[in-house]
Chain A
């Protein structure tokens, strides 16, 4: 069949599955399958150590989702996800330490505080892109970490703060982290599925073009910043109650580097990629701990390989494989 302008019809052209809602639906289904599998883990894994590792993996999955919302879906490359996790953890810890505020209030306060700070930072970096945006968020992250580390009378500095625990049971924590991750995932899916998600994608692809179409770029960028920071904030707050200690180390740039690696390996701009990337990287990092400093060399190499050759990450690879597997069936359908 010849298309208009004499161009042959692209036989390899994707069908409706390439529409954003369909791509997102497939992504969401895969993410839910991963979460369902994770929900079964405590039935077979009873070791508190292993459950602890998985809980921290889920913590990183939340950070990866939060960062991916900003970088992968909205095109804003922030270097502050770990700093916002630290701020969330400190909000809950400081409220407990100074005012004896219960965790049931302290944790929501962390969400509000990090969301608000994220909103303000979003306003400041609104017109910045690329290296300028990255450097500004990095500066913010370092300032926050240094201020917390040096405010010894208020935060106890590098000694950190003790935080009460929510449960004694590791299984309880495991399911709490998993529930919050699931809730975050569903919330993001609903936003991405609607008007807001479409506008975020438009801003990611071309902010000037989005503005010319009548999309309020300022509003949607700031909103993405606030939401991303709030997700990191709740992750940090929960992590603080799990580890029962918060310290400025939570906000180290290296932590942000790990989050970025997770998303690059899993897949930028995907839900499943954030979760799978976080699980794989953190579990592999634990497995490689026995080999000393080699883990950072391995991750750096893997990130370079993905950034150079597999930009779409593992989720993109999986989608390509699925599409290839589908092709013979499609080809048969196209035959007269």
Chain B
């Protein structure tokens, strides 16, 4: 059963088609990898799915409900949350306060948010920095914090934009472990990443975009062996 589905999704900036008629679906409980070379339109697609950019054309459905053009706030309240490539945490309040704010934004009481925050801090190995302002955290710790903020109230679907980029390998494994555990509990993810080993490890299915179009979709192995995907990554002269 598809949880998130798009059809004919397009976005043009001037004369450039950043996304051109993209159509794919994320099934309930899966981790779908959204891959493609730089400039292929992955982040623009994610921006449209999460309400930060209105699509020029096309539709988005979340659990069979048309959510095209809804604001990020409306989508967050329907359980579609996202993480950004450039982390977005609240830098002048503490790590714990970031989690409490995220929890209260999702309607939790302060006490409940504090309880969940304690367990997330433990799981994400952030307990020792919980009282530090988020602005004092390292890049990797901020990514982990953003994971925590996203999952303080489990979303229906989490859109992750390059969560592993420029992160220490130990922290990368912490994040991957976090995703695996949540996936085992039935959580649905759409994962945008250039880190192919982790994408291959985490995702059973993938969608590959190039020049704004979906060029391949299906089981991970099929996508990786697809000629158009190989050409997109390696260039058209990659016969041998």
Contact = CB atoms under 8 A, between A and B. Distances in A.
A48 interface: no
Interface residues of A, number: 32
A213 interface: yes
B109 to A, nearest CB: 10
A205 interface: yes
Nearest to B75: A214
Contact of A16 (B104, B131, B171): B131
Chain B residues touching A, majority SS: mixed
B131 to A, nearest CB: 5
A212 B93 contact: no
Interface in A161-204: 195, 198-199, 201-202, 204
Contacts of B133: 18
B81 interface: yes
A205 B133 CA distance: 12
Contacts of A150: none
B149 interface: yes
Nearest to A8: B128
Interface in A211-252: 211-217
A205 B131 CA distance: 17
A214 B52 CA distance: 12
A214 B92 contact: no
Contact of B90 (A13, A19, A205, A214): A205
Contacts of B102: 213
Given A5-B170, A19-B97, A214 B76 contact: yes
Interface of A: 3-5, 7, 9-10, 13-16, 18-20, 195, 198-199, 201-202, 204-206, 208-217, 269
Pairs A-B, 4 closest by C-beta atoms? A209-B88, A214-B76, A205-B90, A4-B125
Interface of B: 50, 52, 71-73, 76-77, 81-82, 84, 88-94, 96-97, 100-102, 104-106, 125, 128-129, 131-133, 149, 168, 170-171
